[in-house]
Structure 1
Amino acid sequence: MTPLAASVVSALRSAGCVFAEDEAELILSTARTPDDVTAMVDRRVAGLPLEHVLGWAEFHGLRVTVEPGVFVPRRRTEFLVDQAVALARGASLVVDLCCGSGAVGAALAAALGGPELHAADIDPAAVRCARRNVAPFAGHVHQGDLFAALPDTLRGRVD
C-alpha cells in the first residue's frame, strides 16, 4: 500500500467508515489529482455518502452519475430492474417516473437493447442528473409531476 493510500485508509477508518480500504481504492481511482483526493476524503469524513463524494454509483452494471440532492440508486433496486426486464422483453418504450438519477430507466434501456426511453422528475437537480445518465441510450428527461411531465405523443403508448 502506498503512503497516500495508507493515509486515506487511516482517515476513513478514523471517521468510522467500515469499508475504509474499499472506499480508499474508489477515491484514489476516481480522483484526478492529489488535491482531489484530499477534498474527496474531507467530504467523506464529513459524512457525505460515498457516491456523492465520487460523483457516481454502480448500478446494474452501469456507472450512474449522482450529485448532492439526488437519491443514490440502491443495490436492492436492481431486483426491480430484473423483474421489469423479465416482464418487458421486446418492449419498445420505457417510462421512468420519479426517476431521480435515471438509474432505473438507464438500466432498463441497457438490458432491453435500447427501447425509446422517457424519464420524468419534479426536481431540477434530478432532471439534470438523469439527463446525463440516459443520454447514452438516447433517452429523454422531462421535468414535472408524474405523467403530466410526459409528452402527449406518449398517451396511449404506455402500458
Structure 2
Amino acid sequence: MSVPPSRDSVVAALRAAGCVFAEDEAELILAAAPAPRDIAPMVERRAAGLPLELVVGWAEFRGRRIAVEPGVFVPRRRTEFLVEQALAQAPGAAVVVDLCCGSGAVGAALAAGLPGAELHAADIDPAAVRCARGNVTALGGR
C-alpha cells in the first residue's frame, strides 16, 4: 500500500512544473481529491498544464463554486464585471436568460443577486448543458 503524497511533495511537484501559486494550488487539490489515491493523478494533470479548475472540478465565480468539466469554458474573474453591470441595471426580480451559457456561471450569479429571478440557461453543447444544469438548478434555474 503506497502512502499518499504529502502537502510538501505536492507543492514541490507543482513548483517544479512552474505553478506560481503552488502552495494555494496544493491546498485546493488536497481538499478536492475524493480519496488519497486520487492526489497523485490530479497533481500530474496539473503539472502537465491542465487548468487547476478542471483538475479540481470547479471555479470560484462571484463567491460561488461553479462546477466545470473538460470542454466547458471555465468562468473568468473578468466576467464578474459583466454580472456587476447587469445587476446594477436590473430593476429587481427579473427574467434572466443566459445564452451560450457554458457552465451557467453568469446566470447563476445573476440569479443569486436577484432574489426571485426566473433563470433560463441554454447552450448547444451537451457537456455545457450538463454542467449548467448542475449549477443553476439549486437557484431554481432551468
Structure 1 vs Structure 2 CA RMSD: 1.0
Partner residue of 2:6 out of 4, 7, 20: 4
Q: Distance in 2 between matches of 1:89 and 1:40?
A: 44
Spell out structure 1 runs of 4+ moving beyond 2 A. none
- How many residues end up aligned between the 2 structures? 138
Aligned mate of 1:55, from 57, 68, 71: 57
Report the AA paired with residue 54 of structure 2.
Answer: H
Q: Which has the higher contact order (CA 8 A, sep 6+)?
A: 2
Letter of the 2:118 partner, please give it.
E
Q: Look up the SS of the partner of 2:66 in the other structure.
A: strand
Query: Residue 60 of structure 2 aligns to a residue in which SS?
Result: strand
Unaligned runs of 5+ in 1: 141-159
* Structure 2: stretches of 5+ with no match in the other structure: none
Structure 1 length-normalised TM? 0.84
CA distance in 1, matches of 2:116, 2:42: 34
Q: Could you report, residue by residue, the CA deviation over 1:45-84 in whole angstroms, capped at 9, with x for unpaired residues?
A: 1111000000000000100000000000000101110100
User: Does the CA-based 8 Å contact 1:92-1:115 persist in structure 2?
Assistant: yes
Aligned to 2:131: 129
Taking only the aligned residue pairs, the percentage that are identical comes to 74
Distance 2:121 2:97 in 1: 6
CA contact (8 A) 2:93 2:115 kept: no
